[in-house]
Amino acid sequence: MFQIAMIPSPTKHHVIRNTTKRRCIHNILLPIAITNALLLSTTTSLTNNGHQKRCYYRFSFVKSTARKNCISGVSPNNFYPSQHKSSSFPKAVGSTLLFGASADDDVSSDNRSVETTTTESLADQLSALNFRNVVAVVGAGASVSAGIPDFRSPGTGLYHKLEKYNLPYPEAIFDLNYYRTINPMPFVDLCQSIWPGQETGPKPTIAHKFLKLLQDKGCLRRIYTQNIDGLEALAGVYTENLVECHGNFRNSSCIKCDEPVDSIVCRETMFRGSVPTCPSCGSYVKPDIVFFGEELPGRFQQLIERDLYDCDLLLVLGTSLMVNPVAEIPTWVRKDCSRMLLNRELVGDFYSSNNVNRDAFMKGDCDDSVRRLCQLAGWDKDLEQL
Which residues belong to the active site? 246
Q: 272-297 b/e with 16+ CB inside 10 Å = b?
A: eeebbebeeeeebbbbbbbbbbbebb
Cα angle at 160 between 157 and 164, to 5 degrees?
Answer: 140
Strand ranges for 269-312 from DSSP E:
285-289
Task: Report the alpha-carbon distance of residue 364 to residue 137 in Å, rounded.
Answer: 17
Task: Report the alpha-carbon distance of residue 189 to residue 162 in Å, rounded.
Answer: 10
Q: What are phi and psi of 172, to 5 degrees?
A: -60, -25
Whether the CB-CB separation of 134 and 219 falls below 8 Å is answered with yes
Characterize the bridge pairing of strands 338-343 and 359-363.
parallel
Half-sphere CA count of 107, side-chain side, radius 13 A: 22
